[in-house]
Amino acid sequence: NAGVTQTPKFQVLKTGQSMTLQCAQDMNHEYMSWYRQDPGMGLRLIHYSVGAGITDQGEVPNGYNVSRSTTEDFPLRLLSAAPSQTSVYFCASSYSLGRSDEQFFGPGTRLTVL
Amino acid sequence: LAKTTQPISMDSYEGQEVNITCSHNNIATNDYITWYQQFPSQGPRFIIQGYKTKVTNEVASLFIPADRKSSTLSLPRVSLSDTAVYYCLAKRDNYGQNFVFGPGTRLSVLP
């Protein structure tokens, strides 16, 4: 199993540009989520999905859109990039939202917005 | 909603045992306590999880007292490769669904 994969690894955008961060998992996990991590900080939840066709907002959803058309894929779209969105983005998945379920994280995408 | 509280940083030397304590005073009855490890430029990785008493795996031990208001992650005989940030998770967000990550404890293992 490849686990959770993310592309690209690095990206530089100009203010106002849009782009999509890709996330895929091959573990047949129902639950997927996107976090952002700013320097020296913990992870903050952006959006999450409890299954195909179902998404919801996390702690910091503004400026981001998500969709979940398949169990495997959960892309994160930046609508109009801003310097405040410079961060490292992590995608994670778990079998369900059970209280003891382990989350598996991808390697991250490092995004810089100029 | 009270988040978990853990030391911001700790230093240790190779070969020592390291104990990182996390406070979670308002933990819900059904919540588990989970610890993740994060190396620089990588995503967090699950280390250990427990509900009460003691849990041990090949990487660490987790001690949870009866009142469950705190927990201690124990790393036996640390090496330089254990230098990382360690997150204690015990609280859900206001939706009752998602774990909340705090800033974690930055462990530096010195030679």
pLDDT at B2 over 70: no
**pLDDT-based confidence at A93, cuts 50/70/90?**
very high
Distance CA B32, CA B51 (A): 5
- CA–CA separation, A32 vs A51, rounded Å? 8
**pLDDT tens for each residue of B49-91:** 998 889 999 999 999 999 999 999 999 999 999 999 999 987 6
Test B97 with A104 for CB contact under 8 angstroms: no
Q: Note which residues in 13-72 of chain B have CB less than 8 A from chain A.
A: 30-32, 34, 36, 41-46, 49, 51
pLDDT band at A82 (very low <50, low <70, confident <90, very high): very high
From chain B, pick out residues whose CB is under 8 angstroms from the CB of A97: 97-98
Look up residue A90 and give its two tokens.
């992590």
Q: Mean pLDDT of all residues in chain B? A: 89
Is residue A100 pLDDT above 70, yes or no? no
Is the minimum CB–CB distance between A23 and chain B shorter than 8 Å?
Answer: no
Residue B94, pLDDT above cutoff 60: no
User: What's the confidence (pLDDT) of residue B96?
Assistant: 55
Of A33, A102, A107, the CB nearest to B46: A102
pLDDT band, residue B100 (cuts 50/70/90): confident
CA A59 vs. chain centroid, Å, equals 13
Contacts of B41 in chain A (CB under 8 A): 108
Tens-digit pLDDT profile for residues A42-68: 889 999 998 999 999 988 999 999 999
Record: contact B98-A48, CB cut-off 8 A: yes
* Residue A101 identity: D
pLDDT at residue B66, as a whole number: 93
How far is the alpha carbon of A88 from chain B, nearest alpha carbon, in Å? 9
Question: Facing residues of B71 across strands?
Answer: B22
Cα gap B27→B8, rounded to integer Å: 20
